[in-house]
Amino acid sequence: MRVLLVEDEMTLADSVSRGLEAEGMTVDHVADGLDGLWRAREAVYDAIVLDIMLPGMNGYEVCRTLRREEVWTPILMLTAKDGEYDEADAFDLGADDYLRKPFSHVVLVARLRSLARRSRPTPTANLTVDDLVVDPAGMTCTRRGTRIDLTPREFSVLTALLRRAPDVVAKQDLLDAVWGIDFEGDPNIVEVYVGYLRRKIDRPFGTETVRTVRGVGYQIAGRS
């Protein structure tokens, strides 16, 4: 389970991150509302833990903007006991759940798992280009009816590109979306995995779905 934590109180953020990671979850943490909005737009998460009082953009505006843009990742908002707004406002803006500070770690984990279970992709959630069909929920990929076996990382790279198609995706954006914003390895790993994808989804079928835009990044493009 992959969680985006948007919280500027560093002691709390560190505690929550360590606790969720101990439960087997992957946590991306940002401390600014604008950064949180960008991450929620660019990467795929099972849930977002969103504080209200944030620098850059408050949690209510982040939530409102995501829902207006039809980003439906489940959002659990963190509310202060003496905050200006109560939980009703959070729900009105499109949040799926809330917790009042201070909160129990056990309850937070249970709420996040519940949100993930309740979030079900619709049948129209398949990502397609020409005869390539990707099912993000079932983690399957087919071309011309032939199943293509992808590793989890290859699948993540492909879905990240498909969700932005036909836009060009910068290498750094792919790195952040798939490997996480804290990745400290060789950024050329992106090129390696794009090569893996081409050998599996393009070359056996005589196609060129994954294209390199020199000096910019990568693009999913259908036949013209």
3-state secondary structure labels for all residues of the chain: CEEEEECCCHHHHHHHHHHHHHCCCEEEEECCHHHHHHHHHHCCCCEEEEECCCCCCCHHHHHHHHHHCCCCCCEEEEECCCCCCCHHHHHHCCCCEEEECCCCHHHHHHHHHHHHHHCCCCHHHCEEECCEEEECCCCEEEECCEECCCCHHHHHHHHHHHHHCCCEEEHHHHHHHHHCCCCCCCCCHHHHHHHHHHHHHHHHHCCCCEEEECCCEEEECCCC
pLDDT band (50, 70, 90) for residue 97: confident
Indicate if 168 and 113 belong to the same structural domain. Answer: no
Indicate if 70 and 52 belong to the same structural domain. Answer: yes
Indicate if 85 and 135 belong to the same structural domain. Answer: no
Indicate if 30 and 54 belong to the same structural domain. Answer: yes
Indicate if 71 and 149 belong to the same structural domain. Answer: no
Q: Are 138 and 120 in contact (CB under 8 A)?
A: no
Q: Provide the domain limits for residue 137.
A: 123-220
Indicate if 64 and 130 belong to the same structural domain. Answer: no
pLDDT on residue 176: 82
pLDDT on residue 90: 67
Indicate if 77 and 128 belong to the same structural domain. Answer: no
pLDDT tens readout for residues 23-47: 999 999 999 999 999 999 888 898 9
Question: Where a domain ends, among 118, 150, 185?
Answer: 118
Q: Which CATH number belongs to the domain containing residue 107 in this structure?
A: 3.40.50.2300
How many other C-beta atoms are found inside a 10 Å radius of the C-beta of residue 63?
Answer: 27
Q: Are 146 and 157 in contact (CB under 8 A)?
A: no
Q: How many domains does the chain have?
A: 2
Q: Which CATH number belongs to the domain containing residue 165 in this structure?
A: 1.10.10.10
Question: Where a domain ends, among 97, 118, 139?
Answer: 118
pLDDT tens readout for residues 47-68: 999 999 899 999 989 998 998 8
Q: Which residue is listed with tokens 């943490």?
A: 29
Indicate if 127 and 164 belong to the same structural domain. Answer: yes
**Residues contacting residue 99 through CB under 8 Å, at least 6 positions apart:** 76, 77, 78, 79, 107, 108, 111
For the cut 80, the answer to whether the pLDDT of residue 222 exceeds it is no
